[in-house]
Structure formats: C-alpha cells, structure tokens
Amino acid sequence: MPQMSAIDRNTAAPERPALAALEQEVLRGALMKMHLIRKFEEAAEASYVRGLIHGTMHLSIGQEASAVGSILPLRIDDYILSTHRGHGHCIAKGADPARMLAEFFGKETGYCHGRGGSMHIADIEGGNLGANGIVAGGLPIAVGVGMSIKAQKQDRVCMVFFGDGATNEGAFHESLNMASIWKLPIVFVCENNKYAMSMDIALSMAVRNVTDRASAYAMPAVAVDGNDLPEVAAAARAAVARARSGGGPALVECKTYRIRGHSKSDRNLYRTKEEIETWREADPISRLETEVLTHQRFTRPELAAIEKAAQQRIDEALEFAKASPDPDSAELTRDVYAD
Amino acid sequence: MPQMSAIDRNTAAPERPALAALEQEVLRGALMKMHLIRKFEEAAEASYVRGLIHGTMHLSIGQEASAVGSILPLRIDDYILSTHRGHGHCIAKGADPARMLAEFFGKETGYCHGRGGSMHIADIEGGNLGANGIVAGGLPIAVGVGMSIKAQKQDRVCMVFFGDGATNEGAFHESLNMASIWKLPIVFVCENNKYAMSMDIALSMAVRNVTDRASAYAMPAVAVDGNDLPEVAAAARAAVARARSGGGPALVECKTYRIRGHSKSDRNLYRTKEEIETWREADPISRLETEVLTHQRFTRPELAAIEKAAQQRIDEALEFAKASPDPDSAELTRDVYAD
Amino acid sequence: MPTELAAPEVATRELSYAEAIREALAQAMEADERVFLFGEDVGVYGGAFGVSGDLLQRFGPERVIDTPISELGLAGAAVGAALTGMKPVLEIQFSDFVTLAMEQIVNQAAKIHFMFGGKASVPMVVRLPGGSGTGAAGQHSQSLEAWFAHVPGLKVVQPSTPHDAKGLLLAAIDDPNPVLVFEHKLLYKTKGPVPAEPYRVPIGSAAVRRAGRDITIVAASIMTLRALAAARRLAAEGIETEVVDLRSLRPIDFATIAKSVRKTHRLLIVYEGVKTMGIGAEISAMIAESEVFEFLETPIARLGGADVPIPYNPMLEKASVPQEDDIVAAARRLVLEGIA
Amino acid sequence: MPTELAAPEVATRELSYAEAIREALAQAMEADERVFLFGEDVGVYGGAFGVSGDLLQRFGPERVIDTPISELGLAGAAVGAALTGMKPVLEIQFSDFVTLAMEQIVNQAAKIHFMFGGKASVPMVVRLPGGSGTGAAGQHSQSLEAWFAHVPGLKVVQPSTPHDAKGLLLAAIDDPNPVLVFEHKLLYKTKGPVPAEPYRVPIGSAAVRRAGRDITIVAASIMTLRALAAARRLAAEGIETEVVDLRSLRPIDFATIAKSVRKTHRLLIVYEGVKTMGIGAEISAMIAESEVFEFLETPIARLGGADVPIPYNPMLEKASVPQEDDIVAAARRLVLEGIA
Ligand SMILES: Cc1ncc(C[n+]2csc(CCOP(=O)(O)OP(=O)(O)O)c2C)c(N)n1
Ligand SMILES: Cc1ncc(C[n+]2csc(CCOP(=O)(O)OP(=O)(O)O)c2C)c(N)n1
Ligand SMILES: [Mg+2]
Ligand SMILES: [Mg+2]
C-alpha cells in the first residue's frame, strides 16, 4: 500500500481496482520501465539521425504500457518471445539498456555481440527468447516453449507478443490451435496498434477485434485499452495465472497505437496527422502519471525523479554503447554452429 | 416435378423441402454421379489390388453426397479446386471417368497424360482446376481464382474443397481471411470426415465444428449432414447464389465419413470397426435411394437402371484405360514449361 | 583492346532501377488489363522500397492491391489468378519472406503445367527484393535465388541494371510460366539508361558487359557492378577481364559463358548468395562437365557469400559477401598464381 | 584388387532401415528424457511409412505426439522446445511438405545461435522422407536436400544404409545444432547389419563403400546402392570403381572425396535431386576450385534428376532419376571416352 496518511487518502477519489492492485514498488518499477523504454527509443532514434546507427528500427513509442503491463505479472524465469518492435518487451523483462544499445550500435558488448541488431535482441538469461524479424515468427516458437515447459513439468509461463498484422499469418492460426488443444501455458499478447505497416486493420481483417478470432480455438480472450497500464496488467495477470495453473492459453489484445512511423522509411501516407495527435493525447506514460498524482500515489517530484533516473540510465547506456569495441572481423563466422 | 399420378403423390408423405427442391432430372443426374463415383473408386481399388495401378490412392467411398451435392448448383463455367481425395469432385463436375481412369493407369490418354496420377487430376475445360497433393494447397489458389473472377467481372463462382485436417493449416486461415475482406465469390466446402489420416478432429482442434472457425472471418457458415445429398445441395445452393450475386464467400461443412482407409497404407488403428459399421449404415447412396423410393420419385427398376448404366460406363472406362498407350519415355520433359 | 561494351540501346534518358521497374509495371498494366500488382504495402505506402510509388494513384486499388501479411496465401492467390486468365505480379516485401511461400511456388506454380499434362499454365511473376548491405541483419538480407534455380518449372532472373530491371520484368510478365525476379535492395537507387518504350530482355540470356582476354568473371546482380569496378582496377595492372552478367539463373545461358571461357581459359564466378550451393556451384559444374573443361588453364574459382547468416554489424556485414577488393584479389590470384 | 569394404561393425544382426531409425529413436528416448518425437500420424498410425511403429505404445503420448497438420507451426514448435531444454525430433511426413516450414527452419532454427551471439542453441532434428519411386507423383517425390546445404547454421545428412540411418540419427540428436535427416522412402525396407547398442556416425564424414582405381563415384542416399550395383557390373568390364557414400551434405567431407579423386583422376557424382543446383554441383565446384583440379584427367560428370517434376507414370518416373544403367553408362563414357 502507498505510504500516505489516512487523511490524504480520504480526499482522493477511490482508486479503480486495476490501479489499486498495483503495489507501490510495482507501480514505481512500471513507471521506471516505461520511461526507460521511451528514453531508450528516443536515444536510438537520435543516434540513427546522427548516423551512429545503421539499418532500420521499429519504435514502440506510445505502446509502452502494453509491453510493461503485460510483462508485469511475469517472473524472471518466465519466457517471452518478442517482435520486430521489441525494445519495450526486452526492457520490461529486465534487460540491460546498455547492452541493448550496444547491440544497436553493432558492438561486441551488445546482447548479440553485434550480430543481431535491433530486430534480434535476445536476453536469454532474462527469459527473453528474442525479438524476431519475421512477422508472426515467434508464435510457433512459443508453442514449442509451451510444450517444453509442460514436458519438464515446470510452472513457468511463456508470453508471446505479436502485432495485429501478424494475426493474418498462417503461423498465428497454427500456433493458437496447437496451444489450445494441448492446453499449453502460453499467453498470447496481441499489440493491436491499428496498422500493419500501412495496412489498416479495418482493411486486413473482416472482424473488428483480434479477440474475435480466439473463439476459433476455444481460447479465452480479452481486449483492453493498451495504453492503460493498470488494465493491461490486470488482464495479463489473469491470463498468466490461468496459464501457470494449467488452465491453458489465453489471448490478450492491447489496443494501442504507434506514434512513430513503422520504420525509418515511413512517410505516414496511410494515416492523418489528426489521428496521430489524438493518440498522442492518450500517451500511456503521462496518463498513468496523471492518475497516480490524482490518487497521490506519487508526488510530482517523485515522478520527476523516476524520469530523471531513467534518462540517466539511458545516457550512461549510450556512453557505454559508443565506447564499446566493434566485433573482430576475423571472427566473422564465429557462432554459426554451436559445439 | 416427378412424373407420377396425383393419387401416388397423395399416398406418400410430403417430401422435405431439400428433396422437393431437386427436379427429377437433377435428382437422376445426382444419383447417377454418386454411382459413377462409387463404381469408379471400386474399379480403381480393384485395379490397384490386381497390380494394374501403382502408387497410392485416397478413396472417398461414403462421401459421394458431399461431392455431388456441393457441385450440383454449379454451372459448367464455375470453378472447383479439389483435394487428394478428389475423384468425387472431378466426376461431379462432369469429368469423363475414362480419361480419369486412364490417368490412374498412367496413360497418355489420361487427363494429365499420365504425368499427374490420382492426386493431380485436373479437368480444365470442365472447370476442375485440379486435385492437390498438398493438404490445404487449393485454398490459397481459390483466393486467386476469386480475385480473377472479380477482376474480370464474371459471374462465376469458385468452390474449393478441403478436409477437416486442412483447417489446421495456416493456408486455411490466410485464405478465408482474404476471401472475406475482399468479398470474393468463393464457396469453401469442408468435407469433415472426422479424421485427418489418423488424427481425430476431436484431438486436432479445440472447437467442435469447422464452422466454429468461420466467425474469425465474419464469414457465414453452415454445417450439414454430408451424407444427405439434398441437404448438402441446399446449403451449397444458398452459398453459391450468395457468392454469385456479390455477397461474398461462405463456408459449408459437410459432416461425413470415409469408409475406406486414408490411403493404401492404412491399418485403421485409430478407429473401431463399430464406428465404421455405423457410418456404413448412413451410406449416402442407399439413403437417398430409399428416400426417393418412398416418395416414388423413382421406381426400383429405374434405380437399378441408373446403377447399371453407371457400372457400364465405368467398365468401359476401365477398358479404355487398359487399352490406352503409355506415354513416350522420350517425352520425359515435355510440358515442364509452357511456351 | 578490352572496352566497356556500349549499352545495348542508344537511350540517353536515365532512370533508377526502382523507377525502371515501376515503368515496366505501368507499361504492362497499360498494355494489358490482365496485369495487376499486389503485395504488402505496395499501394498507399508505395512499396517498402518505394518501387510501386504512385502506381496506386495511377491504376486504382483494383489493380494495385494492398494485402494482409499472408505470404503463403498471396503466392497461392497469384497461382489461382494466373490459372484463370490474369497476369499477377506479386511483391514479396523482402525475399527472405519467400520462405513462407515455398509450398505454393514450388509445389503448385512450378508443377501445375506439367502435372496437368500441359493443360493449364501459370503466368505469374514474383518480385523479390534481396541481398545484404542495408544493416537489416540475418532475416532481411538473404540471397536465396539459388534455391529456385533448382526447381524445374520456374524461371529465375536477377537484373543488375535499370535497363535490365525493366526489360526482364516485362519479359517475365509476358512469359507463360512462373518467373521469379530477384531485385537487389542496394540497386534500387542506381541509375542508368532506360529506353522509354516497352522492350524485353530475353530470359535465359547473359550479357557480356566488358570484353577481356585473361579471365572471365561471371557475376550476378550487384556483383556485376563490383566485378566491373574490379575489372577497371585489374586493367590498370594489365589483367584484361571479361565480365559476363548472368541475368538469368534458370535457365542459365551456358553458351555465352562457355564462349567466354574458351577465350580466357580462366573462370571466376562472383555471387552474393552463400558460396556453398550457390549459383556459382552450378556454373562451375556446367563448365567442368563440358568440353570447355579442356580449355581451362586454372581451377575454377568461386567468390560467394561466407558461410554465415548476414551479420548486423556493418563491417561484418560487408565481410560476409564479396566486395570489390575481394574480386580483385581473387582474379589476381587466379591469373597470376593459377590458384582459386 | 578392389573389394567391397567390410561393414564397419562386426554386427550380424540385420534390421531394416525403418527399424534402425526406430531403434535410434527408442534408444535416444530411453537415454535422455528430453528427447521426444512428434509429427503427423507418428503415434497411433505408427508413421506414414511405419517408421515410428510401436513407439507410442512404448513411450506414451507425451513423448510420441500426434499433431495437427501444421508444418510451419510444428517446425517452430521444434525450435521453441529446443531453445528451452528439450531435444525434439520432428517428422515431416513427406519431405515435400517442408516447403511449408522453410521459414522456421531457415530464418529461425538455422540463425538463432548466430543472431543471438551464441547465447542460445537449437538442438532439433527434422526427419524427412524423400525421394521418388513410389508412384506418388510431383508433390510427394521430391529430393529437396540441396536447398538446406545452402543454409549456414543447418546440418544435413542422408543415410543410405540401416547402419547409418541409426548412427546418423543418434548423432543428429546429440548435435547442438538443427540437423535435417533426409531418409529415402525406397530404403525403408532395405536390410543391413545394425549393432544393437547405441552408436554414432559422425556428421560430416563420407564413407568409402568400395575401393577402385579408375573412377570415383560419389553418391548419396539410394544412389549409393545403385552405384555399388553399377560398380559390380563395371568391374566385370575391367573398370574399377571407387564408391564414396556422401552421407553428409552439410558439411561435406571434402577430404575423403578429394583423396579418392587424387587416386582415380575421374569423378562422377550421382544424386537423385534435380541435377541443376543439386548437391553434385557443389561437389564438382569444390573439386574444380581445389588443387585436386590438376589430378583430373576427364571432365567432372554429374548424374542427377532430370529437369522435370517427378512424373506419375512409372516408366517416366524411373526415367526422371538416375538408374543403375545410367550410372554404368556414365562411368563407361567417362573412363573410356573421357567425356561427361
Ligand atoms: C513474414 C513477414 N512479412 C512481412 C514483413 C515486413 N513487415 C515487418 S513489420 C510489418 C508490419 C507488421 O504489422 P504488425 O504485426 O501489426 O506489427 P506492428 O509493426 O504494427 O507492431 C511488416 C509487413 C516481415 N518482417 N515478415
Ligand atoms: C501439407 C501436407 N501435409 C501432410 C500431408 C499428408 N496427408 C495427406 S492427406 C492427410 C490427411 C488430410 O486430412 P483431411 O484434410 O481431413 O482430409 P481427408 O484425408 O480426411 O479427406 C495428410 C496428413 C499432405 N499431403 N500435405
Ligand atoms: Mg500493428
Ligand atoms: Mg478428414
């Protein structure tokens, strides 16, 4: 429970259950992670603009509540499988932003020793089995992780992320079916940000919600406001608990929005400025901050301190990434095979 | 209307609508085709046993009503796409059993000049775009056929067949989704015969019916007794009319049963003799014959004449196939490329 | 004296490779209403690499079709449309994603004409941006064209110039067979002369891009440009290089390669795909089993991609596929030391 | 004097190729509870080719798992299970269906170890019954193994004997990398000596099956048997053939092949996959770019599948892949006339 006097609490309107369910340190951690993600991506973007990073990147700015809220109920030994838009998931699962940025910079100190880059960051020790450059590529892998957990009689859970566009891939269908018939401990988290690159979900599927597809697998499904961290966390908590207790898989759909373009080549021809603006106002970080201020869970200076700490960590991460050595070109074919 | 006196008609119970909807010549044609399919497959089976045919084959004995009933509302210029279990569809669409059997025998006179065999019989002029050796392989092709019909502003329809097992392939999902968002003139006919090879549908999917999957695509769907020709025809007629008039795709699920093993290697380890016997009693041909006799649409001698004519046609087909020449080995690479 | 051969046309107008492809698409769609383009983000976005550009505006959403992310389904849709009177052009956003569509391309498109005894054909085109060099790492940088050269029933082309990008695509659209066009991401912005009117570059014909007497370099796609640059440097050292641009991987224009090797007695094959089982293996083997074998004075050398997924780090990425320096070094070694 | 080399083990017990595979699976599952078998109809049906047989009864439905028809999903499931501590063995019912699973095998399984900087590995095995000869026509008879030999990160083996079928499968299950085992449908019923205890045949090692001085035949899978039969006929004509059974396609045991060619000065490569871009192309190219090139007295000959989808008609089907007569003729041509 938050540390405030009974008087303070009485003056504030009662917290909604989803927020009340988040203990103070959990909430602090969640805020910190959302800031870390935002600052991380801003730093990456700035580095790209300055030519320090090559390739492309897929930013999740605006989607932080979906990543952090979903992962909040997970334990360190639970697994996640992430996407091309995966920085948020990675940080939420506890990865070190410095090693992530080093990977972005293609450095030997990066999570993949500079071999993978943004689209392939994996943090195996932290339970992140990897971002994925293939849309829906993680979904079938999740099935195997679920089989593995079950075979080893572990009480772990596997959470797999994917976008709305990914649900049009055959892999989505095959994976949800197998997860369901075998009652695997998998939580399917769809981050529905309304677009697959330029493709409006209203044009790419005939149903309104991704959850409308779950009945084909007799799978419980819930759609939540993906920019509302407490709601996302509540939905994820229920799905994770169910999966962990042998109840089988579930689908959580986080309705959210990506503020940035799809990738660096995006000219935003498929959506209006107004739409972007509307969603900017639903920013998941400031929304949560406003709410916790209202309920006096945190003071303004406390929130500022969290943000500042996040910024500082990312600044340090950037220094680390810049200062790190490049891989040795003589080791080009290292790690092609395990031995 | 059937040619019988008013007195006769009065003594019989009224026909159910699905049967009454079938004009006498249509019904005769349907009975004839069901017999042709049955005799065709029995002849193929016997030829295989006698070593006249090599390879394997997938018999649809017991599923004739599904093939014939579904195709009954189609016009000659409508398209079908068929499966590995496709003899029924092919004959129902009007193919010549002699050229089909010749194909089975690998002869130059066969539909594919002996290059394709049972799993690849196509009758392009008759609108059969081919059987398919790949489970669910025809489904994505149907999407393109639907696009083609629409682009050319034709009033044709494409009917694509597939089994229950095929609905677990990603191709099923991708195809139904695209057909639905683009409102393509496609009728999806699932012949649910309870098994995919040895896999019981109860184990391979978490929902009871294939139709339970249609809502994921906002697609109308209906399940019918697939051994009941008039019911199958009625459901297909509605779906075809809808598709032809621009209403978009629909799914028809024919619940049926394959009496023979999956293919020649099947030892029936996954099902009981009793189950097979129960379904044998629901034989679609004798069921329909009993009903039309009851309603005096046909007399016993008339029915016997139909069956005999079918047998005779298949006997002739067999002679044709046997007497036909083999392909010329010098022409091994003919038709690899079109020019 | 070796010279850079003049471009086959007297066109002076220059287009980029991407623009040349777009022009081919536009001209094909204008000339034949059966032609349409579809794929992920080819419409309003203008294509992930900007190739389709304004085609949606010019031809409307019924002929430039944005699709869901469903590569297998899309390839199948191309088969079905081609089977029934249309001429679909499918863009696979990155050639790596063709891994999802192999079933329809290999089991259906490639085999239908044959399996149906010649009664139906599948005139579809698949455009596949391939290759490394953009920092997109292992799943977005592959060169998988060699797989398709192994599949009877398919045709495979790989243009290296804007001129050929247009002419090969138009030829592919004309062709009654399924044709895969492997474009190269790094080439989209390269410029070159492109005649304004529609024209075809025949599928199955290689092009001698530079004449020389000391060594033949057969190169494909972007490697042709690197080989030409290497040839200029080698010429300064007195090594006269003949550069053959492969252009078609299925069928391979063996006659042009053989003719060149008969003249130069040395062969170096340069390609971006993984060396092992890459297209150079086939070319080498074709030469080694032919009567040209007797004309060889040195082993047949191949320069191909390293045995590694394409790494993200830019230096490693460059090191993983042949660069100009590598070509110069390999050619020198072959000519001067006689070893591959 | 050339002789048939004795089988490497003194085992007298004979098993069929299918039984040998089943024994390997059973022994692996007994020894290591992380190992499990899954795929379409591998359980109650016993496998489409009867390979798994009674394994369901022996190991129960949690270790011998019947699956829906979802090849892409299954390949991905193998990746996920392998990533997290299991050792999955996936049966793809006919190797042709791997076309549906390429994405997971090539983009994920093959690259994860590298892309993750060596931090994770994917010890999965995929068993793929391949080859023609059963009258199953174009979509059920392909030999697609060459594709995978093009992919860094994968290993590919192709056993020709019951002994190797067991030993290579056990080695594959041990291996920390994804391994594809291409079995041959026509070999399942062939018999041969198989030691009862578990043993490994090292991946990446070819086997000299017969010694000879006039010509080296490198063959893979069932072609090894045909090459040996051909060698016996050739011996009667005085042509002494050395037969090398390739066994591993990735990595290729170049040393064994090179040693043999240095001795015989002639090379014929025999494989069932389509000749163009088949595994023989790579072997030919490896020889042609090596110092062994100088030892060659004749061109390097390849006998591979014809440029055609596998036809249904049995005579055409036979004509589409190398038969014993073809091997005899090709070897004769090379030795007597010096042409490929
Ligand atoms: C199989 C595959 N097809 C296409 C792409 C190219 N691509 C990358 S992300 C993307 C859009 C994905 O949309 P969605 O799943 O909604 O995720 P989002 O980008 O919106 O987070 C596309 C088409 C890809 N990476 N993989
Ligand atoms: C992609 C693919 N996977 C597996 C097979 C092998 N196979 C052929 S038919 C079949 C069962 C198909 O079941 P279903 O779709 O229900 O059709 P049915 O045989 O019952 O008519 C299987 C597994 C195949 N031909 N293609
Ligand atoms: Mg999206
Ligand atoms: Mg079935």
> Which spans in C32-150 are helix H?
55-59, 71-83, 102, 110-115, 145-149
Band of residue C10 on the pLDDT scale cut at 50, 70, 90: low
Of A119, A97, A128, A113, the closest CA to residue A35 belongs to A97
- pLDDT recorded at residue B265: 84
Residue C88 and residue C154 in one domain: yes
> Whole-angstrom Cα distance, residue B261 to residue B259?
7
Residue C6 has pLDDT above 70, yes or no: no
- Percent above pLDDT 70 for chain C: 97
The CATH number assigned to the domain holding C291 equals 3.40.50.920
Mean pLDDT of all residues in C307-322: 98
CB C114 within 8 A of CB C120: no
Band of residue B210 on the pLDDT scale cut at 50, 70, 90: very high
- pLDDT recorded at residue C8: 54
- pLDDT recorded at residue D37: 98
Asked if residue D202 belongs to a domain, the reply is: no
> Whole-angstrom Cα distance, residue B186 to residue B178?
11
Two tokens, residue C274:
């993984």
Residue D11 has pLDDT above 60, yes or no: no
Residue B4 has pLDDT above 50, yes or no: no
Residue D1 has pLDDT above 50, yes or no: no
Asked if residue A327 belongs to a domain, the reply is: no
Q: What is the pLDDT of residues B315-334, one digit of tens each?
A: 999 999 999 999 999 999 99
Residue B252 has pLDDT above 70, yes or no: yes
| Boundary of a domain, candidates C167, C193, C219 | C193
CB B133 within 8 A of CB B119: yes
Mean pLDDT of all residues in B300-313: 98
Q: What angle do CA D326, D331, D332 make, to 5 degrees?
A: 100
Nearest by CB to D76, which of A130, A140, A152?
Answer: A140
ipTM of the complex: 0.97
- pLDDT recorded at residue A2: 44
- pLDDT recorded at residue A203: 98
CB D182 within 8 A of CB D145: yes
Q: C95 in ligand 1 pocket by Cβ < 6 Å?
A: no
Q: Which residues pair with A187 in a beta bridge?
A: A159, A250
Asked if residue A1 belongs to a domain, the reply is: no
Q: What is the pLDDT of residues D246-255, one digit of tens each?
A: 999 999 999 9
Asked if residue A43 belongs to a domain, the reply is: yes
- pLDDT recorded at residue B10: 52
CB A252 within 8 A of CB A189: yes
Two tokens, residue A254:
């986080």
Q: Which residues pair with B251 in a beta bridge?
A: B188, B221
Mean pLDDT of all residues in D31-42: 98
Q: Tokens 């599923």 belong to which residue?
A: B63
Concatenating the DSSP letter of every residue in C119-184 gives S-----EEEEEE-S-SS--TTS----HHHHHTSTT-EEE---SHHHHHHHHHHHHH-SS-EEEEEE
Residue C62 and residue C150 in one domain: yes
Domain that holds residue D303: 207-336
CB D318 within 8 A of CB D306: no
Q: What is the pLDDT of residues C258-310, one digit of tens each?
A: 999 999 999 999 999 999 999 999 999 999 999 999 999 999 999 999 999 99
Determine which of D145, D289, D320, D337 to mutate to test the interface with C (most C C-beta atoms within 10 Å).
D289
Residue D57 and residue D178 in one domain: yes
Q: What is the mean pLDDT of chain B?
A: 95
Expressed in percent and rounded to 5, the helix, strand and coil fractions of chain B are 50, 10, 40
Mean pLDDT of all residues in D5-29: 84
Band of residue B264 on the pLDDT scale cut at 50, 70, 90: confident
CB B234 within 8 A of CB B226: no
Residue C173 and residue C215 in one domain: no
Q: Which helix (H) or strand (E) holds A313?
A: helix A300-323
Asked if residue D8 belongs to a domain, the reply is: no
DSSP 8-state symbol, B16 = P
Q: How many domains does chain D have?
A: 2
Higher pLDDT, D285 or B264: D285
Q: Which residues of B touch A217 (CB under 8 A)?
A: 205-207
Domain that holds residue B214: 17-322
- Percent above pLDDT 70 for chain B: 96
Band of residue D3 on the pLDDT scale cut at 50, 70, 90: very low
Residue C175 and residue C292 in one domain: no
Supply the pTM of this predicted model.
0.97
D251 upstream amide cis, omega within 30 of 0: yes
Distance from CA of C314 to the nearest CA of A (A): 7
Distance from CA of A140 to the nearest CA of C (A): 13
How many angstroms separate the Cα of A31 from the Cα of each of A235, B118, B124, D183, D195?
Answer: 18, 63, 63, 55, 63
Q: How many domains does chain A have?
A: 1
What angle in degrees, to the nearest 10, is found between the helix axes of B284-294 and B300-323?
150
Band of residue D2 on the pLDDT scale cut at 50, 70, 90: very low
- pLDDT recorded at residue B12: 59
Residue D252 and residue D318 in one domain: yes
- Percent above pLDDT 70 for chain D: 97
The 3 state secondary structure assigned to D199-217 is: CCCCCCCCEEEECCCCEEE
Q: Which residues pair with D128 in a beta bridge?
A: D182
Concatenating the DSSP letter of every residue in B36-103 gives HHHHHHHHHHHHHHTTSS-S-----TT-HHHHHHHHTT--TTSEEE--SS-HHHHHHTT--HHHHHHH
Residue D44 and residue D173 in one domain: yes
Range in A119-123, B10-14, B15-19, B194-198 with the lowest mean pLDDT: B10-14
| Boundary of a domain, candidates C193, C217, C251 | C193
Mean pLDDT of all residues in B55-59: 92
- pLDDT recorded at residue D5: 52
Asked if residue A186 belongs to a domain, the reply is: yes
Q: Do C120 and B124 touch (CB under 8 A)?
A: yes
Band of residue D12 on the pLDDT scale cut at 50, 70, 90: confident
Residue B142 has pLDDT above 70, yes or no: yes
From the centroid of its chain, how far is CA D179?
11
Residue C162 and residue C295 in one domain: no
Q: What is the pLDDT of residues D101-135, one digit of tens each?
A: 999 999 999 999 999 999 999 999 999 999 999 99
Asked if residue C94 belongs to a domain, the reply is: yes
Asked if residue B332 belongs to a domain, the reply is: no
How many angstroms separate the Cα of D149 from the Cα of each of A244, C277, C307, D278?
Answer: 40, 6, 11, 10
> Whole-angstrom Cα distance, residue D76 to residue A158?
14
CB A61 within 8 A of CB A259: yes
What angle in degrees, to the nearest 10, is found between the helix axes of B229-244 and B64-71?
30
Distance from CA of D329 to the nearest CA of B (A): 18
> Whole-angstrom Cα distance, residue C264 to residue C257?
11
Q: Do A198 and C45 touch (CB under 8 A)?
A: yes
Asked if residue B221 belongs to a domain, the reply is: yes
- pLDDT recorded at residue A65: 98
Residue C181 and residue C226 in one domain: no
Residue D89 and residue D223 in one domain: no
Q: Which residues of A touch C307 (CB under 8 A)?
A: 333, 336
> Whole-angstrom Cα distance, residue D41 to residue D66?
5
Distance between terminal CA atoms of chain D? 26
Centroid of ligand 1 to alpha carbon of D106 (angstroms): 18
- pLDDT recorded at residue C7: 52
How many H helices and E strands in chain B?
13, 7
Backbone φ, ψ for residue D171 (5° rounding): -65, -40
Asked if residue C315 belongs to a domain, the reply is: yes
Q: Which residues line ligand 2 (CB under 6 A)?
A: B 84-85, 133-135, 162-166, 193, 195-197, 262; D 40, 69, 71, 93, 97, 100
The contacts of residue A164 (CB under 8 Å, 6+ apart) are A190, A191, A192, A193, A194, A195, A196, A201, A204, A205, A210
| Boundary of a domain, candidates C133, C158, C193 | C193
Asked if residue C199 belongs to a domain, the reply is: no
> Whole-angstrom Cα distance, residue A221 to residue A192?
14
The CATH number assigned to the domain holding B38 equals 3.40.50.970
The contacts of residue D338 (CB under 8 Å, 6+ apart) are D297, D298, D299
From D140, D163, D184, D282, active-site residue: D140
Q: What is the pLDDT of residues D195-204, one digit of tens each?
A: 999 999 999 9
Nearest by CB to B106, which of D70, D140, D313?
Answer: D313
Asked if residue C150 belongs to a domain, the reply is: yes
Residue of D nearest to B335 (CA): D308
- pLDDT recorded at residue A13: 81
Determine which of A118, A120, A124, A147 to mutate to test the interface with D (most D C-beta atoms within 10 Å).
A147
Tell me whether residue D71 is one of the annotated catalytic residues.
yes
From C19, C40, C91, C140, active-site residue: C140
> Whole-angstrom Cα distance, residue A191 to residue A189?
6
Q: Which helix (H) or strand (E) holds C257?
A: helix C254-264
The CATH number assigned to the domain holding C185 equals 3.40.50.970
- pLDDT recorded at residue C12: 82
Q: What is the mean pLDDT of chain C?
A: 96
How many angstroms separate the Cα of D172 from the Cα of each of D48, D62, D72, D124?
Answer: 22, 21, 21, 8
Asked if residue C38 belongs to a domain, the reply is: yes
CB C247 within 8 A of CB C160: yes
> Whole-angstrom Cα distance, residue C130 to residue B81?
33
> Whole-angstrom Cα distance, residue D285 to residue D275?
14
Asked if residue B9 belongs to a domain, the reply is: no
Residue C11 has pLDDT above 80, yes or no: no
Q: A199 in ligand 1 pocket by Cβ < 6 Å?
A: no
Grouped pLDDT means (10 residues each) for chain A, 339 residues: 46 87 98 98 96 93 98 98 98 98 98 97 97 98 98 98 98 98 98 98 98 98 98 98 98 98 91 97 97 97 98 98 97 97
Residue D229 and residue D283 in one domain: yes
- pLDDT recorded at residue B232: 98
- Percent above pLDDT 70 for chain A: 96
What is the number of other CB atoms lying within 10 angstroms of the CB of residue C251? 15
DSSP 8-state symbol, D4 = B
Two tokens, residue A145:
């992780």
D129 upstream amide cis, omega within 30 of 0: no
Residue C169 has pLDDT above 80, yes or no: yes
CB D53 within 8 A of CB D26: no
Residue C66 and residue C133 in one domain: yes
Q: What is the pLDDT of residues C44-81, one digit of tens each?
A: 999 999 999 999 999 999 999 999 999 999 999 999 99
Q: What is the mean pLDDT of chain D?
A: 96
Question: Which atom of ligand 1 lies nearest, measured to the CA of A58?
Answer: 19
Q: Is the alpha carbon torsion for C104, C110, C113, C117 positive or negative?
A: negative
Asked if residue D236 belongs to a domain, the reply is: yes
Tell me whether residue D140 is one of the annotated catalytic residues.
yes
- Pocket probe mutation, ligand 1, options C41, C42, C93, max atoms within 8 Å of Cβ: C93
Q: Pairing relation of β-strands C241-245 and C215-219?
A: parallel
> Whole-angstrom Cα distance, residue B324 to residue B318?
10
The contacts of residue B284 (CB under 8 Å, 6+ apart) are B34, B62, B63, B64, B65, B66, B226, B227, B228, B229, B256
From D71, D145, D282, D317, active-site residue: D71
Q: Pairing relation of β-strands D179-184 and D125-130?
A: parallel
Asked if residue A170 belongs to a domain, the reply is: yes
